[in-house]
Each structure stands twice: as C-alpha cells, then as structure tokens.
Structure 1
Amino acid sequence: MKTTFKATFLTVALSSAFALTGCGHEELSNDLTEQETSIKNSLAQKIIPLADCIAPGWASQNGGTTGGGTAAETTVSTYAQLKAAIENTSIKVIKVTGTITITTRLSFQDQTGKTLYGAPGAKLVSTNQTKDGSGIINIKRCNNIIIRNLIFEGPGAYDTDGWDNAILDDCRNVWIDHCEFRDGVDGNFDIKNKSDYITVSYTKFHYLKAPKPGGSGGTDDHRFSNLIGSSDTATTDAGKLNVTFVRCWWAPGCRERMPRVRFGKIHILNSYFNSSVSNKCIAAGVQANILVERNVFENVKEPINLMSGFTAVTQTGSSFINVTGNTSGSGTAFTPPYSIAKLNVGDVKADVTANAGATLSGNVCDAF
C-alpha cells in the first residue's frame, strides 16, 4: 500500500466517519479524536488486505462474503489470460492490469470463493452491439464472489435485446465494490434469477456515448442502467434478490432503471443521482420492497416511480434538489437485518463523487 493511499484512506475514513461496524455517523463523530488516533496507529502497523474487510449490507448475511481471501494472485493482461483464469476453479484471486478487449463474452459459472479485481486503471471493454455478441461478463450459479476496482465499458446503448456489461444470474453472496459500469448495450449491470445477498458499494453507473436508435427492441434511447428481477412472471425470485446499494452514483447519461426492481428487499443508502436526462430513477415493480434512505437526487425527473404490484417503498431522510415528479414512498418497507453506518445526507454528494468508481489502488480495504 502506497503512502498516498494511506493518506486517502485516512481522509475518507475521518471525513465521513464511516466504518461498517454498526455505528451511526452521529455516534462516530463524538469520538472522532479517539478514532483518528486509532486509525493512524493501525495504518502505521499494517496493510489491511481485502480478506480482512467485512462486506457491508446484504452481502454480510448468509455467512458473509470473503471472495478468494488471501489466496495467491494470478495477474492477467490479455483476453486469453483472463478467460483462462475466470474459467479455472483453482484460481481464487485474479488481478487485471491494463485494458482488455472482450472478444467473446466471458462466462463465469459454478464457482465459489473468488475475487476479481483491477489494478489502477484496469478496464474491460466490449465494442459489440449485437444481440448475441454483446456483453462483457455473465456470472452464473456462483457463490461468495468479490469484484472490485474494475471499469466495465460497453459500446453504448442499443435496444437489440442484447446483453448488459455484467449480469448476476442465480448467484449468492456477491460484493461489487468500487467498480464503474458505463455504456452497456442493454444495460450496465443486472441482477436476476434468484440471486441473493448482494451488495453494491461505491460503484458508478453512467453513459458517455449517445444511444443508438432503431434497435429491434423498439426503444431508441435504452440507457437503462440496472434491472433487479427480469420478469413479473419470475415468481421463483420471491424472497430472493435482496440487494444493498450503498454510496453508489447514478451519474449523467442514465435514462431509467436506477434501479428498476421486482421482488426482493432493496436498500438504497447514501447514494447520489444526478442524470439530467432521466425519465425516472428508482422504479418499484411487482413485489418490490425498497428502503430509500439518505440519498441525494439532483436535477432528475421522477426520483421514485411507484409502479403496480409493489409491496412497500419507504423514503426517509433524502434530499431533493431541482427535481420533478414523485419523491414519496408508499407503505412501510422492511427493516434491514444488518447494521450499517450512515452518512448524514449533507455529506453524501461530496463523498460519493470523490470515491465512487474504480478509485482504489487495488485489492485493499478502504473506508469500508
């Protein structure tokens, strides 16, 4: 760990007073001097490996999420190397370096206990906009997976009923941390088919490229970022799809699905929404049970879209700046079974815009 990263770690930890130990921001601020001394001493003594981090939110449940732990790393810099490492069940920690062009969508299936992370600037890129050839990675029937500090870049939105940059399909205990998903063909990152105990933290979703019109799906602007639950008729999802989004950023270019939810208990905490091209942000569909807590919505339309068939949506403590459309929930959402520290809403924008995305030095703990 470089000295600069230690300084960044200390700055983030102290400025946001954020340690996922079940203590609130208000409690932490009272003991800031004591914590500052403790953090300085800790950083002076050791580097904290990811294996010692505790996944926040839903990924902390069901035994927790540790990924590949302290297993030896395999470093990859080409598509062939990455594909081989992804498919090899004996490789538990993969370090991606440089930019890798995805020539054929990666298939990450039937594995347990694995970490995929990027060195600074690591990027996985797809240029394929076709229905069958699009997408970067399909993660299916996997358990205890960590993906962090990676940029996933697609060729831009085009409604061909194609693939997202990344998909979780029938997976459990997955922690997506400090990643960036941009310009997916069908979407940026979807979670479906009984996937459960998922946390997405400090992750940025956006679109830099203009949408391509005229696709076979019929939507000329399909910059639809995140879908949870693929269909109203996928009733096996009921009781699953429990997902935490914490300190995430739905940035400029996102049109809809931030996220669009069916089933599951979804906790959206301390996140920032500022896409001025939005039609709607959070969308609650069939059996959606959503807790929207201490987020910032700025220059967006329809922060909370109440569709038909949702169970409950609770909005509490969020900030709405120059928005139009609905800002209220309906009913009483679930109470999370986990403890998680919470930023004051006034601190959310600065923290998220400074830290969301692939902003780490690698496979190391930060303020989490």
Structure 2
Amino acid sequence: MKFKTKLTISLFTIALAFTSCNTEDASDSTENASAAANQNVSTSKVGVCSEVPGWASQNGGTTGGGTSAETTVTNYTELKSAIENTSVKVIKVSGTITVSARLSFQNQTGKTIYGTSGAKIVSTNQTKDGSGIIYFKGCKNIIIRNLIFEGPGAYDTDGWDNATLDNCQNVWVDHCEFRDGVDGNFDIKNKSDYVTVSYTKFTYLKAPKAGGPGGSDDHRYSNLIGSSDSATGDRGTFRITFARCWWASGCKERMPRVRFGKIHIINSYFNSSASNKCIAAGFEADIKVENNLFENVKTPIDLMTGLTAVTVTSGNVFTNTTGNIAGKNTSFTPPYTIPTLAASAVKADISAGAGATFAGNTCGSF
C-alpha cells in the first residue's frame, strides 16, 4: 500500500532499514525535523498489519480477527451481541453508540473491534456501579482500533474507567481516543501483558465533578497500570509500550501511573496545562522514557517509593516544564526495535496523527 506521508531527512536512515514498509520514492524525504515540528505533518502511515510495534509484537504477535468477515453494528444491542458472540471476529462500529450498561468483553481470542470515521462509544453514567464503557477480561490477541471512547466526565465515585484490560495478553490499541472517563480513561491491571498503545489520544474535555465519595474533587487521572502494591502476582507482567501517544488537554495525573511491569514510553507528547504530574513510577515500576516531548506540564517524571528504575534518555525534550525531569537507576532494554522520531518532530507528528484519525480498519505502522 502507498503511504500517505513525508519522511524527514533526520529519519532517512531509519526509513532505509524499513524499506519493506515504505513504497514512496526517497525524493519525497525533503523536509527536516525542525520544519516538520512547525507543521501538522504526521509520519503515521497506512501500513502492513503484521507490523505490530512494541511489546504486542512479542509472545507470538497480535493479529486480532485478521481478515475475517465483518459484523457491522450501529446500536447498543447489536454491539453487545457481537462482542459476546465468540464466532464474530471483526466488529465494525458505525456512528455513535450510547451504552445502556457497561459492555463485558470476556474470554475472547483473536478479535478486532474498530470504528468507521467518527465512530464513538459513549457512556453518560457517572454512578459507581453503572459507569464505564467496556471491560476486557481474560482476552488474548485483541485489536482495538480507530474508536472514540467518551465518558461523562471525571467524578470520584470509585467507579469504572472508559476501558479496562484485566488479565489480557497481546492487545494492540491503535489510533483510538479515550476522553472524559469517570474513574480513568484506560487502565491496565491483573497480569495483563504484551500490550501496545499507539497513536492514541487521552484527554478530558469536560470539567471534573467535585464531591465524590472517593475523596478527590478532580479525578482526571488518565491511565493506571497495576491496581495495588500488594498485588505481587503482577510481577513479571505489564510489558507495555506507549508509542506516539498524546496526553492532551485536561489530563491531571497518571500519564501513566505504573506499578510493576516494564513500560516503554516513546515518541509521545505531553501538553496538558492542567497537569499535576505526568509519568508516575510507583512500586517496582521499570520504565524507559525515550524521545518524548513534555510541554507546559508540571512534574514530567514523578519518582515514587519503591520503584525499580526509570531511564529518561537524553532524547527527551522539556519545554516550559516545572518539577522533576530526572530518572533513577537503569531501566530494562526492550527486546524489539521500533522506528524512533527525534523529539523535535514529535509535536507535529502526534498532533496530526494521534486519535481516531483513520477511516476504518486500516493498520497503522511507523
């Protein structure tokens, strides 16, 4: 497939190493990274579905439902039925679907759920028991692509996230947007492993509701990895890549907040002026922070008690930030290779490419 992109000179060497992924003539590589940083030019490509980036490429890879026949859904009843039917391998979401009860996506293997252009799954419920959009549990080899998950806004009722992975393995979340979750936008817990989140946007567009019984008046806490320091069964899991993601307007904390695991955060963009802290390294967290852009945020790196290691590479850029930007100890080395932008090119790339920006189930590669 032809890629709809222009590569920068600074990425030309990387492009040569991935010539099988790119059919464009080298003469198109004429813009430098500093020029790209001032334009809405994305290096996100229409790619080959086998080119899964990051941790989801390991442990046998992640293919989802592949080229299986699609089932199109346009309302809650159809969506619930398609999710629960193990024979349905590819779900195509069209239009806006408001959930009347949280969806349970359990014990499924080899399945894709994706949206057409502008497709949204919405919850308007802020109660403890009724909140949340979708809960993935005990699933393997799942792809979630080109969908907007929209909650009613943050409210600390000890409620549910827009989406949660619970004991799931080999999951690729690609070109999605998670906004305005009640408890969080997208959490990962309970031995989930081999997960890649790519070109995905996290944001809060609605004002937080104060006075919740959970105790926080502003619970715009986007992404939690690991539910408790005492959940020691999570050791050896939570191998997760966040590549070319965007923690945008309204995010206050947990971008992400990590316990255990080996977390690779690469070529992502943090620019929420509402931030209190961004990446939070908690108990036994092992995090590699590589070539990201932090802009107008507070405490880009929060070193909490009991962490294992946080490596903040020299390729990160911190613009008008306050608070800690240093790491501690030496983090893990990822077992995969992944094309890497200079941080100077991240803003333009992410601004143009992150979120549900595709027309459907188009695979995105780098």
Task: Give me the TM-score of the superposition, normalised by structure 1.
Answer: 0.90
Structure 1 residue 104, shift from structure 2 partner: 0.2
Select which of 13, 32, 35 maps to 1:27.
13
Contact 1:99/1:122 (8 A) holds in 2: yes
Correspondence 1:15 to 2:7: yes
Distance, in Å, in 1 between the alignment partners of 2:323 and 2:89 is: 46
Amino acid at match of 1:10: K
Contact 2:49/2:364 (8 A) holds in 1: no
Structure 1 segments (4+ residues) deviating >4 Å: 29-35, 48-51
**Which residue number corresponds to residue 41 of structure 2?**
none
After superposition, the C-alpha distances for 1:119-145 in whole angstroms (9 at most, x for unaligned) are 000000000000000000000000000
Select which of 305, 308, 311 maps to 1:311.
308
Correspondence 1:136 to 2:122: no
**Which residue number corresponds to residue 215 of structure 1?**
212
Contact 1:49/1:363 (8 A) holds in 2: no
Amino acid at match of 1:275: S
Select which of 360, 363, 366 maps to 1:362.
360
The verdict on how the C-alpha distance between 1:79 and 1:31 changes in structure 2, with shifts beyond 3 A counting, is closer
Partner SS for 1:58: helix
**Which residue number corresponds to residue 284 of structure 2?**
287
The verdict on how the C-alpha distance between 1:118 and 1:337 changes in structure 2, with shifts beyond 3 A counting, is same
**Which residue number corresponds to residue 36 of structure 1?**
24
Amino acid at match of 2:7: S
Contact 1:50/1:69 (8 A) holds in 2: no
Between the aligned residues of both structures, percent identity stands at 70
**Which residue number corresponds to residue 190 of structure 2?**
193
Structure 1 residue 272, shift from structure 2 partner: 0.1
**Which residue number corresponds to residue 253 of structure 2?**
256
Contact 2:174/2:364 (8 A) holds in 1: no
Structure 1 residue 364, shift from structure 2 partner: 1.3
Distance, in Å, in 1 between the alignment partners of 2:87 and 2:52 is: 23
More off after superposition, 317-326 vs 358-367: 358-367
Partner SS for 1:10: coil
The verdict on how the C-alpha distance between 1:16 and 1:238 changes in structure 2, with shifts beyond 3 A counting, is farther
Structure 1 residue 103, shift from structure 2 partner: 0.6
Amino acid at match of 2:288: L
Distance, in Å, in 2 between the alignment partners of 1:197 and 1:360 is: 24
Distance, in Å, in 2 between the alignment partners of 1:267 and 1:31 is: 21
Contact 1:54/1:65 (8 A) holds in 2: no
Give runs of aligned pairs for residues 85-124 of structure 1, distance below 5 A.
85-124=82-121
Distance, in Å, in 2 between the alignment partners of 1:32 and 1:107 is: 38
**Which residue number corresponds to residue 353 of structure 1?**
351
The verdict on how the C-alpha distance between 1:39 and 1:134 changes in structure 2, with shifts beyond 3 A counting, is farther
**Which residue number corresponds to residue 337 of structure 2?**
339
Partner SS for 1:127: coil
Higher helix share: 1
Task: Give me the TM-score of the superposition, normalised by structure 2.
Answer: 0.91
**Which residue number corresponds to residue 166 of structure 1?**
163
Distance, in Å, in 1 between the alignment partners of 2:90 and 2:109 is: 11
Distance, in Å, in 1 between the alignment partners of 2:216 and 2:289 is: 28
Correspondence 1:69 to 2:66: yes
Contact 1:135/1:154 (8 A) holds in 2: yes
More off after superposition, 52-61 vs 267-276: 52-61
Distance, in Å, in 2 between the alignment partners of 1:311 and 1:39 is: 45
Mind listing any 5+ residue stretches in structure 2 that lack a counterpart? 29-44
Distance, in Å, in 1 between the alignment partners of 2:8 and 2:139 is: 33
Structure 1 residue 31, shift from structure 2 partner: 8.3
Distance, in Å, in 2 between the alignment partners of 1:273 and 1:85 is: 35
More off after superposition, 28-37 vs 176-185: 28-37
Q: CA RMSD in A?
A: 2.1
Structure 1 residue 361, shift from structure 2 partner: 1.2
Structure 1 residue 37, shift from structure 2 partner: 2.8
Contact 2:69/2:89 (8 A) holds in 1: yes
The verdict on how the C-alpha distance between 1:32 and 1:111 changes in structure 2, with shifts beyond 3 A counting, is closer
Structure 1 residue 16, shift from structure 2 partner: 5.6
Correspondence 1:181 to 2:178: yes
The verdict on how the C-alpha distance between 1:53 and 1:163 changes in structure 2, with shifts beyond 3 A counting, is same
Amino acid at match of 1:212: K
Distance, in Å, in 1 between the alignment partners of 2:215 and 2:27 is: 53
Aligned residues: 347
Distance, in Å, in 1 between the alignment partners of 2:172 and 2:88 is: 18
Contact 1:178/1:360 (8 A) holds in 2: yes
